[in-house]
A and B are shown apart, each in its own frame.
Chain A
Amino acid sequence: MKTVFKKSVPGREGVWPEKPKSKLEDFIPTDLLRETSGMPSLSELDVVRHFTKLSMKNFGVDSNFYPLGSCTMKYNPKFTEQVAALPGFARLHPVISQLKGAGRHCQGALEVIHESEKMLSELTGMADFTMHPMAGAHGELTGVMIIAAYHKDKGNKKNKIICPDSAHGTNPASAAIAGYDVVSVESHDGIITPEALAEVLDDEVAAVMMTCPNTLGLFENHLPEIVKMIHEKDALLYYDGANMNAIMGKMRVGDAGFDVVHLNLHKTLATPHGGGGPGSGPVGVCEKLIPYLPISRVKKLEDGQYYLDYDAPKSIGYVAPFYGNFGVYLKAYAYMLRLGREGLIRATENAVLSANYMRVRLENDYEIPYNRICMHEFVASAVKQAKNGIRALDVAKALLDKGHHAPTIYFPLIVKECMMFEPTETESKETLDGFIDDMIEIAMLSDSDPDFIKNAPITLSVSRLDETKAARDMVITDDL
């Protein structure tokens, strides 16, 4: 399909505002102006049809099952879109909160922030939360900055952060971007053992970043002992909330001894991922870390009025221009109000149920490296299929032909030909059964007709794309 720029017809009219009365040159010298911006000339219908056609080349949760491990692609209810679009929220200028006494013009917004922070604190067992971080990885960076500020304030000289070898790539990247040396700890039989941790845990360690259940979908059985070891070194324990959907109401990370946590709202609390974003990555902290939270904070007065507090001398400062991705966490707030306590617990229970059901039903046809009760996701491997030259990538592409999105593949890095499945709680048993049947058929075809699998996908707008060529030629705009 031609790009929108190639469809441009000079002189064609789009959605134009009225014509200014004056010329730009009346206000700005000609040598400070440009001639043309290179934006296309199209009719409104040209644009509508172009993007409608593009949308038809996409899989989304509304159209396809999306069992993408560690990404929690559950159904996003529709009513939250309407909430975010309410003019009282969508038209609110952020700077209004910085004028004198202007808290009175954004009481509703401040209430949403304050209540969201309180609910997330209760959900996770943390002492307090901030809604500032604009995505999960941004929450990680914020969390690590809080850890750094804490140690600096206490006069601790600590320059290392430990990440398990199964950690999401963002964990080591966030630690490094915040100025830390990253040390890896090996997992044994899928989890972190106190022995392995002891080998790398010294006085220079500022924090350990963990995901629990981890990226293999397994609960970290040694957690209580690990927490104790880390705190004895005056190091802090960071919780990567990517897998929070597995434990709502079953475990609170604050009660378990974690000091800092970020949540990915698009995962656990069902805000649409938008093809890559926007996200929202609120961060929760234990009591002693509250003074380091980003500026500003929403506080509530005794008369019920809310205000923004900018007075925080120990704060890490500003991580976002205003108060995070307000339009995103509005949806998460409405979602929490809708589900409530019981609904959130039920979501977790059914997510874990679906994952275990799928794991057991696939165990005869695919290798399951850690075949025991899993949490909301599990890892399978395509090693059985490898004898015919079929790899995890091939299975993934064959699934696309069946109308399903593929699982996460080649992550975590510690499993060969890895495929990580996360069905979530919102998919029906028929959908799970249909998917499982297709997986079994792919396993059979891998034996009987491997070339068929290797040639997948054949039903989509393009077949397998040459990624090497893309990197080598590096054509990333229409003009290159």
Chain B
Amino acid sequence: MPYVPHSPEEIREMLEVIGVNSVDDLFAEIPTELRPKSFDLPKGNSEMAVLEKMEKIASRNTTNLTSFLGAGFYDHFIPTAVDALISRSEFYTAYTPYQPEASQGTLQAIFEYQTAMARLMDLPYANASVYDGGTALYEATLMAVRKTKRRKIIVSEALNPIYRVMLDSYTTNLNLELITVPHNHGRTNIKSLTAIIDKDTAAVIVQNPNFFGSVNDFTDLFTTVHEHKAVAIMSTYPVLQSVLKTPGQMGADIAVAEGQSVGQPLSFGGPYLGIMACSKALVRQMPGRMAGRTEDGEGKTGYVLTLQAREQHIRRQKATSNICSNQALCALRTLIHLCLLGDEGMRRTAGLSIERAHYAADRLTSIDGVDLFTKGPFGNEFAVTLPVNAFEVIDKLTERGIIPGFPLGRYYEGIENGLLIACTEKTTEEQIGIFAEILRGAL
């Protein structure tokens, strides 16, 4: 029997020590009426047979297309050493570090990850990660509600729509007022956002670069947020955060991000990680795990999980959140990835991605009827409008081996002709050239 070592003889010895006759006797407390009505699962199989089956299933997914899909989730190169190091079983088969002396590897790594995130966001504190960028944003919103004891949340429509729908689900039963401020041709509408902030506002939520790829400065907006004693929340894209003006410089109180683009494979949506960093005033509202530096009896440096008084296993229903773990292994991937690339490598990754996106924008807008939708500066992602429906174009080009991007019409009524296009350092000029030619032919 796979993975169960007890021999029949050992089982007999163990039953004797317990003082029962059979394994069935151990389950005597489960009354007959509660026994399974069926347990119709397939028979077990050899490792070889399961591997073959899984390879066959995997081959039914198409992964050989040239893709310009982004929408918040990007295909960046992951150095080989990331996988090699993460495969150390002392990391991936360990549990939450409840016994710090036996978990210094995980704890120091979390501490270093927190440091990396705090530096990237330019804010003093970061946690050990939450599930994903969307849950990070929702947790940030709840932090603001607890801190201000107010109920009004102002959200920019240029915030990733995937996170906006998640925010809707999570706040349904919480008696919060969610106000969405429309985007302005793909630009975050800073003027409209500023105008509606008032004394009832708990938080203002914006994204940089926003969903349409445009790069912003929210400094003035955040000044107004602070004048009204509300909380400024900014969702970011960690790869570009290595080169862009920081949440800290702009005055954000909380920065959140989807960490997928730093070291995680796309893997059809997960596992990813939600990055969270915040100001000093909010640190005790932050959910999830945090590792802190301390000393042992001899003065030797060590690390422990800290500020646990905020957490569910101590505070139960009064905890800052119900989250009782973090994406430790994903966070470690992110940390290792950032260390391997370093400041220069991250800047080059960001620079190349931005350069390729601008090259793509030039090539594509040279086609008749294709216009740039994203106004102002943009990073590695931008939107164009096509003379026809984007869904149809995507369908047609996919048949030719290219996924040209994401249809804006899926989330934004009125821009059914809009196509959101992302490039990374993996995108080549040649691929962009082929894309442009095929698109020209298809229109």
Task: Check if A297 is an interface residue, CB within 8 A of chain B.
Answer: no
Bound Cα distance A131, B31 (Å): 30
Interface size range of chain B in the complex: 35 or more
Task: Check if A82 is an interface residue, CB within 8 A of chain B.
Answer: yes
Give chain A interface residues in 158-193, CB to chain B under 8 Å: 168-170, 172-179, 182
Bound Cα distance A21, B119 (Å): 27
Structural contact, A37 and B343, CB atoms closer than 8 A: yes
Shortest A270–chain B CB gap in Å is 8
Give chain B interface residues in 342-395, CB to chain A under 8 Å: 342-352, 354-355, 358, 377-379, 391-392, 394-395
Which of B124, B312, B348 makes the CB contact (< 8 A) with A477?
B124
Task: Check if A364 is an interface residue, CB within 8 A of chain B.
Answer: no
Give chain B interface residues in 102-145, CB to chain A under 8 Å: 102-106, 108-112, 114-116, 118-120, 122, 124-126, 128-129, 131-135, 142
Structural contact, B5 and A356, CB atoms closer than 8 A: no
Structural contact, A91 and B266, CB atoms closer than 8 A: yes
Structural contact, A44 and B163, CB atoms closer than 8 A: no
Task: Check if A89 is an interface residue, CB within 8 A of chain B.
Answer: yes
Bound Cα distance A130, B343 (Å): 40
Chain B CB within 10 A, most for which of A251, A294, A341, A476? A476
A425-B3 contact, Cβ under 8 Å, with A92-B268, A324-B270: yes
Structural contact, A58 and B267, CB atoms closer than 8 A: no
Bound Cα distance A62, B19 (Å): 32
Task: Check if A272 is an interface residue, CB within 8 A of chain B.
Answer: yes
Give chain A interface residues in 70-103, CB to chain B under 8 Å: 71, 73-77, 79, 81-102
Which of A39, A59, A342, A477 makes the CB contact (< 8 A) with B339?
A39
10 new A-B contacts at CB < 8 Å, known A94-B266, A317-B169 = A38-B343, A41-B344, A86-B55, A98-B406, A136-B324, A249-B36, A275-B97, A277-B327, A327-B271, A334-B54
Within 8 Å CB of B174, what residues of A?
179
Task: Check if B442 is an interface residue, CB within 8 A of chain A.
Answer: no
Closest to A79 in B: B47
Instruction: Flag B256-286 by CB within 8 Å of A: 1 or 0 each.
Output: 0010000001111111110000000001000
Structural contact, B3 and A173, CB atoms closer than 8 A: no
Bound Cα distance A247, B29 (Å): 11
Bound Cα distance A342, B47 (Å): 15
Which of A42, A44, A61, A400 makes the CB contact (< 8 A) with B99?
A400
Which of B61, B104, B318 makes the CB contact (< 8 A) with A105?
B61
Structural contact, A276 and B326, CB atoms closer than 8 A: yes
Task: Check if A137 is an interface residue, CB within 8 A of chain B.
Answer: yes
Bound Cα distance A380, B28 (Å): 22
Give chain A interface residues in 38-82, CB to chain B under 8 Å: 38-42, 44, 47-48, 50-52, 54-64, 66, 68, 71, 73-77, 79, 81-82
Within 8 Å CB of A388, what residues of B?
none
Binds A, one of B68-76, B147-155, B186-194, B198-206: B68-76
Task: Check if B156 is an interface residue, CB within 8 A of chain A.
Answer: no
Task: Check if A390 is an interface residue, CB within 8 A of chain B.
Answer: no
Which of B18, B33, B290 makes the CB contact (< 8 A) with A357?
B18
Structural contact, B4 and A347, CB atoms closer than 8 A: yes
Structural contact, A93 and B73, CB atoms closer than 8 A: yes
Chain B CB within 10 A, most for which of A177, A252, A361, A461? A177
Closest to A339 in B: B44
Chain A CB within 10 A, most for which of B59, B169, B272? B169
Structural contact, A59 and B18, CB atoms closer than 8 A: no
Shortest B85–chain A CB gap in Å is 5
Closest to B71 in A: A95
Within 8 Å CB of B301, what residues of A?
462
Task: Check if B79 is an interface residue, CB within 8 A of chain A.
Answer: yes
Structural contact, A134 and B270, CB atoms closer than 8 A: yes
Task: Check if A301 is an interface residue, CB within 8 A of chain B.
Answer: no
